[in-house]
């Protein structure tokens, strides 16, 4: 870690949620204080999550229940990013078959696409905990019929109280394996998600950094864009993985409290 972290250049921070701000439904130590700390310094934030199931309003409520106050505009989910992508790439009136929960469905509707099960222009997939075989069959048939295939995020699994369970990437994978068609995937580590998040706050890779807990998503997404990154060790990735792995954050901190202590001028 020869080069000092470019704190002086930072005007914006992209912050992952799970493993950084909270774990499950429990806020991590210092999370509320850290967001206030950034606000005092005029640093704008986007809370960037691959989870496409909730709407920004639902995230605001979830965080509020933990004593963390954020603005709806500060939430940036892979569902919102998918909506922005669709808005940019749709031609006139477009229809979509959506497999996903409220967050993704709302974002697709907000992008101006109409729901359709027969001959849709797009198949848009994310995590849907009520998905049926018929849904997957309809998605595959639509893609075989020429529909464009977009996935909100690549996460193949996520932790539940019972252990690891199938994520969006696992459902998307079923349709990809059926059709042989590669989807456009929006979420981290694909650069599109962070590019869209940057655009939403008017930031650049010069004045923005990514703060996350996973080397293979948060830090890889940032390094794909040549954006500075900070790994916090309160989530998935460990110091051991930093030492032995090939993905290198620009800064590693044990906690948000330690990051505040490292911040110059504090």
Least Å from the CB of residue 154 to Mg ion? 14
Nearer to Mg ion, 112 or 245 (CB): 245
Of 14, 18, 123, 200, the one binding Mg ion (CB under 5 A) is 18
Rg of the chain, C-alpha, whole Å: 19
User: Using alpha carbons only, what angle is made at residue 235 by residues 54 and 129, rounded to the nearest 5 degrees?
Assistant: 30
Of 10, 12, 14, 16, the one binding Mg ion (CB under 5 A) is 16
* Active-site annotation holds for 18: yes
Judged by CB under 5 A, does residue 155 bind Mg ion?
no
Region near Mg ion per CB under 5 A, out of 9-17, 113-121, 147-155, 238-246: 9-17
Of 101, 106, 213, 250, the one binding Mg ion (CB under 5 A) is 213
Q: Of these residues, 18, 135, 213, 250, which one is catalytic?
A: 18
Region near Mg ion per CB under 5 A, out of 104-112, 115-123, 136-144, 207-215: 207-215
Which position's Cβ is nearest Mg ion?
19
Cα separation, 121 vs 86, whole angstroms: 11
Window 220-259: contact mask with Mg ion (x via CB under 5 A):
---------------x------------------------
Region near Mg ion per CB under 5 A, out of 128-136, 149-157, 171-179, 211-219: 211-219
For Mg ion, the binding residues in 85-114 under the rule CB under 5 A are none
What is the side-by-side strand order in the sheet with 184-185?
Answer: 114-115, 95-99, 122-125, 148-151, 184-185
Nearer to Mg ion, 100 or 212 (CB): 212
Q: Is 201 exposed, middle or buried (0-12, 13-18, 19+ CB in 10 A)?
A: middle
Q: Which residues contact 72 (CB under 8 A, 6 or more apart)?
A: 56, 57, 60
Least Å from the CB of residue 141 to Mg ion? 35
Of 13, 19, 96, 228, the one binding Mg ion (CB under 5 A) is 19
Residues in contact with Mg ion by the rule CB under 5 A: 16, 18-19, 213, 235
| Residues noted as catalytic | 16, 18
């Amino acid at each position: 870690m020869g080069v000092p972290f470019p704190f002086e250049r930072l005007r914006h921070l992209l912050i992952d949620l799970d493993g950084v701000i909270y774990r499950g439904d429990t806020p991590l130590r210092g999370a509320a204080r850290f967001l206030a700390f950034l606000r005092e310094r005029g640093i704008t934030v986007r809370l960037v999550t691959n989870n496409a199931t909730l709407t920004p309003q639902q995230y605001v409520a979830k965080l509020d229940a933990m004593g963390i106050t954020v603005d709806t505009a500060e939430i940036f989910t892979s569902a919102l990013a998918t909506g922005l992508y669709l808005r940019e790439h749709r031609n006139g009136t477009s229809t979509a078959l959506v497999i996903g929960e409220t967050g993704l469905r709302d974002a697709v509707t907000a992008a101006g696409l109409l729901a359709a099960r027969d001959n849709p222009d797009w198949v848009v997939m994310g995590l849907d905990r009520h998905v049926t075989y018929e849904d997957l069959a309809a998605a595959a048939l639509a893609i075989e019929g020429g529909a464009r295939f977009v996935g909100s995020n690549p996460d193949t699994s996520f932790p539940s109280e019972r252990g690891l369970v199938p994520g969006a990437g696992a459902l998307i994978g079923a349709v990809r394996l059926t059709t042989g068609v590669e989807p456009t995937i929006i979420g981290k580590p694909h650069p599109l998600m962070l590019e869209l998040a940057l655009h939403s706050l008017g930031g650049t890779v010069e004045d923005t950094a990514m703060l996350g807990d996973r080397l293979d998503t948060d830090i890889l997404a940032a390094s794909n864009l040549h954006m500075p990154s900070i790994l916090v060790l309160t989530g998935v990735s460990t110091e051991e993985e930093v030492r032995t792995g090939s993905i290198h954050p620009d800064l590693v901190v044990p906690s948000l409290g330690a990051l505040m202590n490292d911040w110059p001028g504090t």
